[in-house]
Structure 1
Amino acid sequence: MPGFRADLRRLVGIDSGSDDAAGVDAAGDWCAEQLDALGFEVERVPTPAVEGTRYGAVVVGRKRGRGIRRILLFAHLDTVFAEGTAAARPYREADGRAFGPGVCDDKGGVVAAIHAARVLDDAGFDDFGELVLAFTPDEEVGSPASGALLATLASGVDAALCLEGARENGDLVTARKGVADVRVRIRGRAAHAGVEPERGRNAAVEAAHLLLDLQALNGSRPGLSVNVGMVTAGERPNIVPAYAELTGEVRAVNLLDLEWALAAIEARADAPVVVGVACETERMAVCPPLEASATAELFAAAAAVAGELGIDVGGAATGGVSDANFVAATGVAVLDGLGPVGGDDHAESEWLDLTSVPGRVAMLAGLVIRVAAG
């Protein structure tokens, strides 16, 4: 436990916002040192720039064993916090909890993965075919640079274990909604609002109708949500607006419902109610859901290991996404929320329950053993 706390303090003390490639790489260097000391073959895989933004490298550690089953543990190095936050709000402990930027999401998970590997090494356990640990640089912004590499790493593994933090009540994450970002561009015709408004084709009016129609999709299928978060239109109050734009997102429990909702939005956009207006829909990013069917077997195994340790765990579904969504899309069995218990992610009050650490690290190591045994 003291070793975990010291390692967590060290990692939380490194600023590693998603757009701070140097900071992410500094955190990755620390992880690489730990993995190297545990006998892993370590590789730092550079990621491509995306729309002019450079992200850090993916740190990959591989250890061969005597068994046949391949197991992937993965967590992310990046946080949502700006450079300087680690100094302004340094790691601290109080009442059995640790506080600091990224302490739960996801630096506690990173350190837990390394310590679980250390537990296995100390026990001399190597009955796996290969144990792979991967730490990514851009999860907080949707993994635009590392998502494909993580999917490649997951291909063919027997189990993938995601080290996002457990829920505040200790639940593991057995399902996550899929999410798709959507933009609708609306083009009409400008006109003088006082002299000849009848010659205009008001894009803003179409945007208003469209917004209400998309809002009506909420709940039309179980767990389906549609949120138009940005609306823009017009240039001046005396011009009939020729252009408007809606930007929003769709979240759904399963891929069929996600695709249905996207198709419904596109169909509505193709049938504007304002005569002379045209709409164009763009799917900007689509993250598939983590469905309960992909996690059921591993959750049962984790619950059994937890029971042997005297830990009672449940399974929870959440609307937020993680890298586990992308891994599940490869068809690999995956389980999320295997990091220590924590909460208030992305807030100044973010915390991690230090008393949960020994049990969660033991559960993670035990789950690796159980998967290795088939």
Structure 2
Amino acid sequence: MSRFLAPAALLAACLATPGVAAGLSPAEARMKAAIAADATRNEALLERLVLQNSGTLNLSGVTKVGEMMRAELAPLGFDVRWVDMKDTGRAGHLIATHKGDGRGRRVLLIGHLDTVFEPDSRFTGFRRDGTRAIGPGVGDDKGGMVVIVAALRAMQAAGTLKGADVMVVLTGDEERSGKPLSRSRADLVAAGKWADVALEYEGLAVTPDGDAGTVARRGASDWELVTTGVPGHSGGVFGAELGYGANYELARILDGFRRELPEANLTANVGVLAGGTPAGFVGDSFTATASGKTNIVAERAVARGDLRALTPAQEAAARAKMQAIVAQHLPRTGATLTFNEGYPPMAPTAGNRALLARLNAVNRDLGLPAMPEYDPAKRGAADSSFVAADADTIGGMGAAGGGAHADGEWVDLPSIQRQGLRSAILISRLAAERR
């Protein structure tokens, strides 16, 4: 089968071609039929989810989407509970647990209830344009949640859900995490320690050659740089008494980052900066203020940015290098660099790659092309990073689409069925393996 089939053609080949079911068991063939029968239902669920605004800071909206997902999971035999997170400034998380026979591999499914689109966003509503659905959060991550429901319903119809130990964690603050992360991600970390395998339902990676698998994601942590200098008349700058001032020290450090940090899969971005007498940030925001004059040596300068790395070792080495650059002060200046809590890296481990191989066995039996590894530098951080240290993990199991986090975000509707069938078969096979 050509790797250049369009998504709709891939789905048609998967669901309609008689010969592709040769590698499927009778139960898997029933899943295939159930996925096809639920197509209209799944699209209707997607529309209902999208029409309910659930911007991260819309606590009531996130809670309502959680209740909508409870209504989908509870009838499938899941014990569903809500974990309140208002003490972190966020709504909470939905955690659903299906107790199987206790003998197979434990499978964790990860998605999120919230979107980047708050109630005052100009991007609202839900509409269809051919095979596309367009709306706020339609792909990130409401399409992913629908894929989870589609897969679990197909498993129930085929009888494979009954013995499966499955947990679903839908966070309510993936787009803007509650603080501290040690609190807001505690339940997810615990779920990762419970699980043998984790599947994350952010959007499917699609390349010009076809679908791809996400076995790695870079982590992301914020940093803040503060430099200081001796204020005084600009006529004394560069001299022994005043030195170089805070602005030159900031420029030296940032240029050192530019020159010494770049390497594969590592980035250090400077998002905002300011310098003068005085200068600083407004609280915990990313709004910086500064004032001064051209004839005054700057007393203070500030900058905030992020660091992204592929592995914990790469991140640790980058942090050490950044601190070493900071420590080489210009005369009469000082500087401090601090790192905030962040998303850990999801490294491309042997276990993650073995899990992709299992997914590709499903693709083979469905007559679909094998999925290569997707470039981790093209993916953002995600909740799967919090479980990857404890469970074999693969990401991007959600629906295919585009324009995430922007007006016009869209999802390919046929991909919901394709992804739902892939997941249903993969989860069933994993759950049947003895631990």
- TM-score scaled by length of structure 2: 0.80
Residue from 12, 24, 27 that aligns with 2:65: 27
- Deviation of 1:65 after TM superposition, in Å, equals 1.3
Within 5 Å, give how 1:326-345 maps onto structure 2: 326-329=386-389, 331-345=390-404
Instruction: Please give the root-mean-square deviation of Cα atoms over the aligned residues, in Å.
Output: 1.9
Partner of 2:186: 148
The structure carrying a bigger strand percent of its residues is: 1
Matched with 2:360 is 303
CA pair 245-196 structure 1, distance change in 2 beyond 3 A: closer
Residue 331 of structure 2 is matched in structure 1 by 275
Mapping for residues 105-254 of structure 1, pairs under 5 Å: 105-126=140-161, 128-142=163-177, 144=181, 146-169=184-207, 170-193=211-234, 199-201=241-243, 202-219=245-262, 221-234=263-276, 235-237=291-293, 238-254=295-311
After the TM superposition, which of the residue ranges 38-47 and 197-206 deviates more from structure 2? 197-206
| Unaligned 5+ runs, structure 1 | none
Gaps of 5+ in 2: 1-38, 277-290
1:79 aligned counterpart, secondary structure: coil
Cα distance change on mapping 1:148 and 1:217 into 2, 3 Å: farther
Which residue of structure 1 lines up, in the alignment, with residue 24 of structure 2?
Answer: none
CA offsets, 1:346-369, max 9 Å, x none?
111211111122121011011101
- Note if 1:7 corresponds to 2:48: no
Residue 278 (structure 1) shift: 1.2
Question: What is the CA distance between 1:232 and its match in structure 2?
Answer: 1.1
- The structural deviation recorded for 1:27 is 0.6
2:216 is paired with a residue whose SS is strand
Contact map agreement 2:147 2:417 (CA 8 A) in 1: no
Aligned to 2:4: none
Say whether residues 1:323 and 2:405 are aligned partners: no
Q: Does structure 2 conserve the Cα–Cα contact (< 8 Å) formed by 1:137 and 1:146? A: no
1:17-44 CA-partner distances (Å, limit 9, x unpaired): 1111111111111111111122211100
User: SS in structure 2 opposite 1:186?
Assistant: strand
Structure 1 match to 2:108 = 72
Q: Which residue of structure 1 lines up, in the alignment, with residue 408 of structure 2? A: 349
- Given that residues 217 and 225 in structure 1 are in contact (C-alpha distance below 8 angstroms), is that contact kept between their aligned partners in structure 2? no
SS in 1 for 2:55: coil
- Displacement of 1:84 in angstroms is 4.4
CA distance in 2, matches of 1:310, 1:84: 45
Letter in 1 for 2:259: A
Q: Which moved more, 1:187-196 or 1:297-306?
A: 187-196
| Aligned partners of 2:144 and 2:202 also within 8 Å | yes
Amino acid at match of 2:376: T
Q: Does the CA contact (< 8 Å) of 2:177 and 2:184 recur in 1?
A: no
Please tell me the residue identity of whatever aligns with 2:85.
T
1:276-304 CA-partner distances (Å, limit 9, x unpaired)? 11111101133221111141111111111
CA distance in 2, matches of 1:265, 1:161: 34
Distance in 1 of aligned mates of 2:172 and 2:125: 21
SS at match of 2:119: coil
What is the deviation of 1:125?
Answer: 1.6
CA contact (8 A) 2:250 2:302 kept: yes
State the identity as a percent. 31
The answer on whether the counterparts of 2:82 and 2:94 sit within 8 Å (CA) in structure 1 is yes
The one of the two structures with greater contact order (alpha-carbon pairs below 8 A, sep at least 6) is: 2
Residues 166 and 189 (structure 1), Cα distance of their counterparts in 2 relative to 1, 3 Å cut: same
For 2:308 and 2:237, the matched residues in 1 are separated by 42
**Structure 1 runs of 4+ off > 6 angstroms?**
none
Q: Is the 8 A contact 1:191 1:197 kept in 2?
A: no
Return the TM-score normalized by structure 1.
0.93
Give 1:74 shift. Answer: 1.0
Larger radius of gyration: 2
Q: Please give the alpha-carbon distance, in whole angstroms, between the structure 1 residues aligned to 2:236 and 2:205.
A: 60
CA contact (8 A) 1:127 1:373 kept: no
